[in-house]
Structure 1
Amino acid sequence: MSKSEIYANLTQLGQPSAIPASPEEAVLERVPNPQAGVRYGVRFTAPEFTSLCPMTGQPDFAHLVIDYVPDGWLVESKSLKLYLTSFRNHGAFHEDCTVAIGLRLVDLLAPHWLRIGGYWYPRGGMPIDVFYQTGPAPADIWLPDQGVSPYRGRG
């Protein structure tokens, strides 16, 4: 498959794209995996993810780590960045944000495997870490630790 065929249906890459008003309006795009016959891992890290507390409207901050083993599709990274950015004005609890992102990616990509770690910074004195994965980690793929230390505060 040629590069022009792989990228033919993308609507955001290579041009100015507005930040979507909400995660529901965000367009996540995918491209055919040119290495579909090879099992390998992909990691996206979003260390400055933001959303809003649905009760107070105060900002919430997280460090997200998304790992997946693609099958036939790859997520197009600009569309993923825009999708994640769309949460900055979206009110939802930490658990909902983290799991919703994982489920949307699974629905889009149908990967062999996916996990997401949401490492949320404290609000009200308590950090919340949220994890979702589609099943046991594949034994034939090297998957490093997500590399985010538990929150320790100042101590």
Structure 2
Amino acid sequence: MKAERKLEVFENPHPDVKYEITHQCLEFTSLCPLTGQPDFAEITITYIPYLKCVELKSLKGYLWSYRNEKGFFEDLSNKIAKDLIEVLKPYFLKLEAKFNIRGGIKTTIVINYRKEENYG
């Protein structure tokens, strides 16, 4: 059964305060687009909410939905960040994806987003 790729949000209970939220997924998996072998990563998402926060069960299902998807590290990391930015419209979002060693090379992808007109 394939997990649904949908991020649910809820109203930020304290939009008057700029606070930071960090979520860590220590067991992210996807498939290598060349070999089909599994790739493993730790994904850390840090954001400063504007009007919306991400609901955790949907975030878990969303990340799990990549389990059988083939993709390069750079592509998958950017897709996840862009989807979160689209639904949250945060003041700030940072996604850090630390992929396990593949061919003797450890890869870390870091994406930073700042919505200048709402940040201050």
Whether 1:54 aligns to 2:9 is no
Give the AA of the match of 1:63.
E
Deviations 1:18-65 (A, max 9, x none): 652xxxx51110001111111100000011110000111100000111
**Corresponding residue number in structure 2 for 1:69:** 48
Unaligned runs of 5+ in 2: none
- 8 Å contact 1:19–1:82 — kept in the other structure? no
- 8 Å contact 2:11–2:52 — kept in the other structure? yes
How is 1:84-95 mapped onto 2 (pairs within 5 angstroms)? 84-95=63-74
**Corresponding residue number in structure 1 for 2:82:** 103
Give aligned-pair identity as a percent: 40
Report the count of equivalent residues.
Answer: 117
* Distance (whole Å) between structure 2 residues aligned to residue 65 and residue 27 of structure 1: 18
**Corresponding residue number in structure 1 for 2:112:** 133
Local SS of the residue matching 2:114: coil
- Which of 22, 27, 31 pairs up with 2:10? 31
**Corresponding residue number in structure 1 for 2:59:** 80
- 8 Å contact 2:91–2:114 — kept in the other structure? no
Which is strand-richer, 1 or 2?
2
* Distance (whole Å) between structure 1 residues aligned to residue 23 and residue 56 of structure 2: 9
- 8 Å contact 2:29–2:67 — kept in the other structure? yes
* Distance (whole Å) between structure 2 residues aligned to residue 88 and residue 104 of structure 1: 17
Local SS of the residue matching 1:128: strand
> What's the TM-score once normalised by structure 2's chain length?
0.91
- 8 Å contact 2:32–2:38 — kept in the other structure? yes
Runs of 4+ in structure 1 off by over 4 angstroms are none
* Distance (whole Å) between structure 2 residues aligned to residue 50 and residue 125 of structure 1: 18
* Distance (whole Å) between structure 1 residues aligned to residue 7 and residue 44 of structure 2: 17
**What's the C-alpha RMSD, in Å, of the aligned pairs?**
1.8
